[in-house]
Amino acid sequence: MRKYLVFALFLSINTFSNAQTFEAKVDSLISSVFKDETGPGGTFLIAKDGKPVYQKSFAKANVELDVNLNNESIFQLGSITKQFTAIAILMLAEQGKLNLRAPIKNYIPDYPNGENITVHHLLTHTSGIKDFTKMKTLPQIAQKDLEPKDVINFFKNETADFLPGEKFEYNNSGYVVLGYLIELTSQETYENYIKKHIFDKLGMKNSRYASDRSIIKNRAYGYQQKNNIYFNKSVISFNIPYASGSLMSTVGDMLIWQNALTDNLLLKASTIQKAFTSYKL
């Protein structure tokens, strides 16, 4: 019995030692990037088998007020928003409310060349439509609280960069259109659809549509850097990036999201498989 107890103790000590080594290595790696503890930082979570094995925060959530980041800090997701938009589209497709291979003209009759651009083209960044973030006139609308259709009107008549399906090119405009399709086919706003059918369903209590006007507890502020000097991020209306980049979340909620995709909590396994399938043009 004593031999087994000694062996069990050895395993416990060895596991603890390995955990310490892993944590120290990750700490060292992150600290080598976030060297300035008084500047903007980041929150990190590493999971194994769906459970956190490392979670720490480094540096500041608010540089001006000298507020440290913590594991509950809520960040703007930027283009990770597109994951939620894509899954919402697939959910509606499973419900028969939307056809991935249908031309977008079926939903937006006046969209230029809409008879040749499909929902699938938008999902896979192969539509060829002009990316509004590359338009020189973007500053004219950046701070305006436009409706989704008005944002689409801003770029829809621009000359296409290539024919639909001709090649892949990362595109924000396509996901603005997808957000509008979610509204048209669900009869809910994009914000409400994502909250009700994804955030609330999964228990992502710290995730939301972004706003610079609302008081958001644990908000991590964004900064830009020039010549080693930090500046507050440019203020925009989140109605502009919309379904291409206007959600906020925490690392804990993002683990819930990852597990939901892995465990097929929102979509059929066959649909998830297609979502992660590479396509050859």
**Total number of domains in the chain:** 1
Q: Does residue 33 sit within a domain?
A: no
Report yes or no on 66 lying in a domain: no
> Domain range holding 92?
78-275
Tell me if 196 is assigned to some domain.
yes
Residue 100 lies in a domain: yes
In a domain, residue 3? The reply is no
CATH code for the domain in which residue 171 is found: 3.40.710.10
Quick check: is 19 in a domain?
no
In a domain, 68, yes or no: no
Q: What is the pTM of this model?
A: 0.92
Beta carbons of 19 and 27 less than 8 angstroms apart = no
Q: What is the pLDDT of residues 174-219, one digit of tens each?
A: 999 999 999 999 999 999 999 999 999 999 999 999 998 899 999 9
What six digits make up the tokens of 49? 């088998």
What pLDDT is stored for residue 96 in this prediction?
Answer: 98
Q: What is the pLDDT of residues 227-269, one digit of tens each?
A: 888 999 888 999 999 999 999 999 999 999 999 999 999 999 9
- Residues 91 and 237 sit within 8 Å (Cβ to Cβ): no
The average confidence (pLDDT) of the chain is 93
Tens-digit pLDDT profile for residues 65-106: 999 999 999 999 999 999 999 999 999 999 999 999 999 999
* 5 in a structural domain: no
Q: Pick from 130, 115, 139, 109: which is nearest to 176 by CA?
A: 130
- The phi and psi torsions of 193 (rounded to 5 degrees) equal -65, -50
